[in-house]
Structure 1
Amino acid sequence: MRVSRHALVDADSQRLIAARLFHSSPASAALIVTCDDASGYRGYCRRYMADRRNDASKPGDISMPLQMILVAVGTSGDVLPFVAIGIVAKARGHRVAMVASGAHRASIEAGGIELIESIDAEADAIALGHPNFWRPTRGLRRISERIIVPSLRPQVAAIESLHEKGNTVVVGSTLALGARIACEKFGVPFVSVHLAPAAFRSLEATPHVANIRHFPHLPRSIKRLLYWYFDRFIVDPALGRGLNHVRVELGLPPIVRPLHQWLHSPARVIGLFPPWFASPASDWPKQVKLTGFPLYDGPRARSVPPDLLRFLAEGEPPVVFTAGTGMRHAGSFFRAAVDACIRLGLRGVLISSSVGEIAVHTRPTVRAFDYAPFNMLLPHARAIVHHGGIGTSAQAMRAGIAQVVIPLAYDQADNAARLERLGVAAVVHVREPSGTRLAQVLQKLLGRPDLHEKLVTVARRFHDDNKALVETCRLIEQTVRVRNDSRASGESGVSASKEFDVDRN
């Protein structure tokens, strides 16, 4: 299979991206699939950009709309906040395209955003479907080899073809490393957006990790050594090699420790969480700004299953149990959930995309549903049991309900520790607790005399749900203005090569 030196994407991917991008008629689709060279691919993408510019005269559009390219890697919980950013950006007059897995096509297109696939839905499902995905170390290896590295070249190719000089900004998630490379190569402004504070390594305010329970409390020298060990023997072999292959193909120097500091944009880094949840430490990057939780439930946010509405109206507020959007192996979790509800005499709601597999374990007082918008469900719940995803954590805090968190990997342990410090959650440090254990933790948490006061105090911190997204878009716009103003005034500022010159040795 021939690979273009310039587009850095194979011929099949060129056809796939072009076809997905233009939603072509049969006639034009037939023309697109004959394109097997980089110049043809770029030509189709530029024709797409010309069409988008012709649409920029709608009422309410700003005089100089940006071409905003959103690049997101991960599960639905990682992608939906970027859909929310895109919706707000479009309302502000910008043209928006998103580079992401085809698994999220429905959610992205429901927001009126064009999707360019970086990996197809089948490959995404295979990667997420393995139980190792939710192991702290093996999970990073799997997501690197199956999702991050295969997405690098399509991300670079899409950005190369879609960006307009002086009028484009790329907004990337924590693991959108192909976007980071492309912006370094083509001199495009890049904004890093991190959903959770665990993305920021710190010796001062060290985030919790799932496999070293007391990591934040270790001496600084030990923490520094463990960060280095993790990068040298886990990250660099699994991720660094593939990343540097792409960099070398583009004429860029290799780097080491990509998850240490390199993943943060030198121009602007945005944390989608508020300072009261995680205040920036002195050793965080200086270009960090915090805006707040996005609180976006997706395109089906106003659709509550009628059966769930009836169940909620039939009795006391239930305890909600969810394993998260990416979890495919949660059978034992839901069996323990049913057992805990029976032991405590509580009603329960189980939320899982594999509802057919868990429905056999339910009871009349414990029901299973494949989907429920948390912004509408959680205000009617008594508590929620989950694995510590940042989106679920934020929705539960806003709803003012208690949380039991069972962290497995990634940012979950750090989110859980922060919830516990706020007094709104209890943390279970066992990957698969029994129903008896869950019942004990729930009973103790719900019986705490100070719980109600803590829940109310935190819930009152949530005001305008849209404010964080508007401020995020404003900071993205500001990044482009500062870059353009600097160039227009003749100031050299920070050159594209020097701006990205970090972690190369």
Structure 2
Amino acid sequence: MRLVFFALGSRGDVQPYIALAKKATQYGHSALICTGKTFEKLVKENGVEFKEVESDLMAMLESDEGKFIYNSALKHPLITKNYVKKVVNPAFRKTLDQFWEGAQNADVLIYHPKAFGAPDMAFALGIPCINMPLIPVVYPIEEFPNLIISTNKNFGRVLNKFTYTVMSNAERSNMKEVNDFREKTLKLPKRKAGIYNLAIEGNKIPIIYPLNPMLFEDVKSWGNNIFLPGFFYLDTDELHLDTLIKQFINEGSKPIVISFSSTPLKDPLDFRNKLKQALIKTGNRGIVLTGTSGIPLEKDNHFLAIHAAPHTLLFPLAKGIVHHGGVGTMATALKSGKPQMIIPFAVDQPFWANLLYKKGYSLKPLNEKDIEVDALISRFKQMEEKETRKNADLVKNILDKEKGTQSALEYIEKIVKEW
């Protein structure tokens, strides 16, 4: 069986696809991941075929213009609109043709919801496709609203379900590119936005949420329309920690690890200064994975700032974890068995921050604007409390038993066989 994956977004968006693709190759299948060049090395070093596509969110965020848009889109709508028109949309149009090239000879297409056009390609090829959002935003349910609309409110069963209609309009901004691709490449007529959101010509599109069911025990309205195999973790056999990190860990007590990945901070120097004060006053040390947060790289006895490191290797060595609340980072933090505190910024992050706090799986979250030295000191002290550590260890024991990628692969094999 040949699986072709269309993955767009940050590392948190792409890595679960790599984990599943790697598992597929281990089971004797062939797998290809089509994504931005930023992730070429990561894909290939995990033994998976790679195909570069033009849409590369991380490369855009590294540019001055991209950073400005990310931080100021709402304040400068005209500049944002112009950037999307001149940079984002043309890149996506090229990506559609590159996806199509990668889709040849596929038995199944597995796609991120941002990969508009994937169902059109599956229809043209006569093969199944599977929608694999990393967060629960596609299928309409009654228990909570679409996270795109609200991450912390409950509008009631009817309105909650209605908020998911936003997904039907999600591809509207790229419908010009999708229809141009349909006409010129697929030789199909134009279509309206959203009609392939849940089904293709009346046939339901299977949906996989790579999440653990324990977080959604109260959700009943998914019925049998959603498959939750568990979290996807990327094997760490080929990964290693930087010598600088190993040296720092060996020099003293277990550090608190702080990771904001691809999330830029509004005032990174102010955060660093407050963080260092809180660490020193509580007798802790810290490792900061700076990513694109803007925190400058530095090292002293209390503090190590380094660009990146594998969360799966570093988190278990930590005393506690502070992160932005992205679903992949959140899942890895849960599996590490270490206390965690979330500082959410946008998109789904506040949802996970609130959900984990309510379930007792994380400390009370902080917003960036509310970060003060005393607040950080309070959280760092809570990480040492017996009940906090007990809850973190309980979750780890549950997640150690799950086989997310294997369960998902078996589900995909079943879909392809029935097709």
TM-score by length of 2: 0.83
Partner of 2:338: 401
Q: Please state if 1:474 is matched with 2:413.
A: no
Partner of 1:3: none
- Distance of aligned partners of 1:277 and 1:355 in 2 relative to their CA distance in 1, 3 Å threshold: closer
Q: 2:390 aligns with which of 453, 475, 480?
A: 453
Larger radius of gyration: 1
SS at match of 2:257: strand
Partner of 1:351: 289
Contact 1:75-1:326 at 8 Å conserved across structures: no
1:170-189 deviation line (CA, Å, top 9, x unaligned):
11123222322211333221
1:426-469 deviation line (CA, Å, top 9, x unaligned):
3435234333254155146336553122112111102257x221
Deviation of 1:423 after TM superposition, in Å, equals 0.7
- Distance of aligned partners of 1:338 and 1:252 in 2 relative to their CA distance in 1, 3 Å threshold: farther
Partner of 1:306: 243
Q: Distance in 1 between matches of 2:405 and 2:142?
A: 29
- Distance of aligned partners of 1:339 and 1:115 in 2 relative to their CA distance in 1, 3 Å threshold: same
Q: Distance in 1 between matches of 2:338 and 2:145?
A: 27
SS at match of 1:277: helix
Deviation of 1:238 after TM superposition, in Å, equals 3.3
Deviation of 1:323 after TM superposition, in Å, equals 0.7
- Distance of aligned partners of 1:343 and 1:130 in 2 relative to their CA distance in 1, 3 Å threshold: same
Contact 1:67-1:163 at 8 Å conserved across structures: no
1:140-196 deviation line (CA, Å, top 9, x unaligned):
9889765577335533554356423xx611111232223222113332210122223
Q: Distance in 2 between matches of 1:311 and 1:394?
A: 25
Contact 1:103-1:120 at 8 Å conserved across structures: no
Deviation of 1:95 after TM superposition, in Å, equals 2.0
Q: Which one is further off, 254-263 or 75-84?
A: 254-263
Partner of 2:317: 380
SS at match of 1:197: coil
Q: Please state if 1:169 is matched with 2:104.
A: no
Contact 1:135-1:409 at 8 Å conserved across structures: no
Q: Please state if 1:69 is matched with 2:69.
A: no
- Distance of aligned partners of 1:198 and 1:423 in 2 relative to their CA distance in 1, 3 Å threshold: farther
Contact 2:8-2:114 at 8 Å conserved across structures: yes
Q: Distance in 2 between matches of 1:425 and 1:339?
A: 22
Q: 2:365 aligns with which of 428, 432, 436?
A: 428
Partner of 1:7: none
Matches within 5 A, 1:192-211: 192-206=131-145, 208=147
Contact 2:145-2:155 at 8 Å conserved across structures: no
Partner of 2:95: 154
Q: Distance in 1 between matches of 2:390 and 2:31?
A: 42
SS at match of 2:321: strand
Counterpart residue type for residue 131 of structure 2: S
Q: Please state if 1:183 is matched with 2:122.
A: yes
Counterpart residue type for residue 305 of structure 1: D
Q: Distance in 1 between matches of 2:259 and 2:384?
A: 22
Counterpart residue type for residue 109 of structure 1: K
SS at match of 2:227: strand
Counterpart residue type for residue 416 of structure 1: A
Deviation of 1:387 after TM superposition, in Å, equals 0.8
Counterpart residue type for residue 458 of structure 1: V
Partner of 1:24: none
Contact 2:357-2:365 at 8 Å conserved across structures: no
Q: Distance in 1 between matches of 2:223 and 2:96?
A: 25
Q: Distance in 1 between matches of 2:102 and 2:362?
A: 46
- Distance of aligned partners of 1:390 and 1:135 in 2 relative to their CA distance in 1, 3 Å threshold: farther
Deviation of 1:348 after TM superposition, in Å, equals 0.7
Q: Please state if 1:338 is matched with 2:276.
A: yes
Counterpart residue type for residue 26 of structure 2: A
- Distance of aligned partners of 1:240 and 1:82 in 2 relative to their CA distance in 1, 3 Å threshold: same
Partner of 2:232: 294
Q: Distance in 2 between matches of 1:144 and 1:297?
A: 36
Matches within 5 A, 1:212-251: 212=150, 214-215=152-153, 217-223=154-160, 235=170, 238-247=173-182, 250=186, 251=188
Contact 1:420-1:427 at 8 Å conserved across structures: yes
Partner of 1:486: none
Q: Distance in 2 between matches of 1:139 and 1:456?
A: 45
Q: Distance in 2 between matches of 1:293 and 1:203?
A: 23
Deviation of 1:367 after TM superposition, in Å, equals 1.0
- Distance of aligned partners of 1:321 and 1:262 in 2 relative to their CA distance in 1, 3 Å threshold: farther
SS at match of 2:216: coil
Contact 1:107-1:298 at 8 Å conserved across structures: no
SS at match of 1:460: helix
Q: Distance in 1 between matches of 2:235 and 2:68?
A: 26
Deviation of 1:475 after TM superposition, in Å, equals 1.5
Partner of 1:391: 328
Partner of 1:270: 208
Deviation of 1:120 after TM superposition, in Å, equals 6.0
Deviation of 1:471 after TM superposition, in Å, equals 1.7
Partner of 2:22: 87
Q: Distance in 2 between matches of 1:213 and 1:270?
A: 20
Q: Distance in 1 between matches of 2:227 and 2:350?
A: 23
| Count of residues in correspondence between the two structures | 408
Q: Distance in 1 between matches of 2:49 and 2:358?
A: 40
Gaps of 5+ in 1: 1-65, 484-505
SS at match of 1:404: strand
- Distance of aligned partners of 1:197 and 1:444 in 2 relative to their CA distance in 1, 3 Å threshold: farther
Contact 2:263-2:293 at 8 Å conserved across structures: no
Matches within 5 A, 1:42-53: none
| Aligned Cα root-mean-square deviation (Å) | 3.7
Counterpart residue type for residue 425 of structure 1: S
Partner of 2:52: 117
SS at match of 1:457: helix
Contact 2:319-2:338 at 8 Å conserved across structures: yes
Q: Distance in 1 between matches of 2:398 and 2:90?
A: 39
Deviation of 1:221 after TM superposition, in Å, equals 4.9
Counterpart residue type for residue 163 of structure 1: Q
Deviation of 1:106 after TM superposition, in Å, equals 0.7
Contact 2:97-2:181 at 8 Å conserved across structures: no
Q: Distance in 2 between matches of 1:269 and 1:78?
A: 16
Contact 2:10-2:58 at 8 Å conserved across structures: no
